[in-house]
Amino acid sequence: MREIVVFSGNAHSGLAEQICADLGVELSPVEIHRFSNDCLQVQLQVNCRQRDVYIVQPLVPPTQEHLMELLLMIDAARGASAAQITAVMPHYAYARSDKKDASRISIGGRLVADLLVAAGADRVLTMALHAPQVHGFFSVPVDHLTAIGVLADHFRGTDLTDTVVVSPDLGNAKTATQFARLLGLPVAAGSKQRLADDRVVIDAIVGDVAGKKAIVLDDEIATGGSIIELLDRLKDLGCTQAAVACTHGLFAGKAVERLRSHPSITEVISTDTVPRPDGFPELQVSSVSKLFAAAIQRIHDGESVSSLFDGVDPTHAPPQPKLPF
């Protein structure tokens, strides 16, 4: 069988090293050089010929820099005659640019997908895309992982009496519902209107939250504006306290300050799809490295990736039995 070779750019080498440790392979070195005119050059330091190459690079700030590194690494692997190239992007930042919701606006999610394929990616492995339709932007196979099982494990064994899972918006309600089922809890959702990238209004909460503790679940926290707005509405409706859980904890701008100072928050939980932010020692991080390592091994062996999520999320797991007609 062909050998697995794993490379990483500068976006999140710690996660890449942990994935390699779980896989039982060495993280192969990459030399990234910047010319005097600010252009990047990438050289892979290990033979790739007829090997399965996996390049681990979440799109995190500086996002454009890390995207260019990823494209150049993919191109270098293709030029080195790799048998198969998989772009492992734990966080696909451009998934938020998924629709034309204003005049003359770009759809970055589709453009970046095209760039990855043009560079030479044969497959994409990612986690918790912002919207389901982003999966269809790619013209190559996409293995889409979910972290809700990992996040649910954090809360198992804790006192969940009078607890409700709350989604910040109706778009994420389906994922929140599946997360609530894993913990045997009811679910609620906010009705959100986005005014700007960091400004939202939540004008209603669908579901019963009075006198309950909340677990607020979101796919991504950037500036924290949605979460803080939601927590204020929950408090107005009689919610006593809240834990905040997300897959991609970017915590940009004033997010750390906002979350640390909010009186309703008891804990914040994220995964390590992106690097841990500075100045947030209270943040609890659950690793998804074993999930990615298992997915890489299954891709390499030609086995099912979706079976990783049997009993976790039917969206990612094998087809469910159809009703008889």
Residue by residue, DSSP assigns 45-57 as -S--TTSEEEEE-
Q: Which of 220, 284, 206, 211 is nearest to 251 (CA)?
A: 220
Which tokens hold the place of 157? Answer: 């064994």
State the average pLDDT over residues 198-225.
88
Q: Give the residue ranges of DSSP H helices in 24-169.
A: 63-79, 108-119, 148-155
Complete domains list, the chain, with CATH:
4-145+289-309 (3.40.50.2020), 148-286 (3.40.50.2020)
Contact 287, 297 (CB under 8 A): no
Please enumerate in sequence order all residues whose Cβ is within 8 A of that of 18, keeping only pairs 6 or more positions apart, or say none. 272, 287, 289
State the average pLDDT over residues 50-59.
98
Chain centroid offset of residue 221 CA: 10
Say how far apart CA 67 and CA 241 lie, in whole Å. 38
State the average pLDDT over residues 225-245.
93
> What number of other Cβ atoms are within 10 A of residue 248's Cβ?
26
Q: Which of 7, 37, 2, 56 is nearest to 275 (CA)?
A: 56
Q: Quick one: pLDDT at residue 195?
A: 56
Q: Which of 296, 248, 246, 239 is nearest to 274 (CA)?
A: 248
33 — pLDDT class (breaks 50, 70, 90): very high
Three-state secondary-structure class, residue 31: strand
Residue 269 predicted with pLDDT over 70:
yes
Percent of the chain with pLDDT over 70: 95
Catalytic residue set: 192
Percent of the chain with pLDDT over 90: 82
Residue 303 — φ and ψ, nearest 5°? Answer: -105, 170
Say how far apart CA 312 and CA 325 lie, in whole Å. 27
Q: Which residue do the tokens 């500086």 mark?
A: 62
Mean pLDDT (the chain) is 93
Say how far apart CA 108 and CA 207 lie, in whole Å. 34
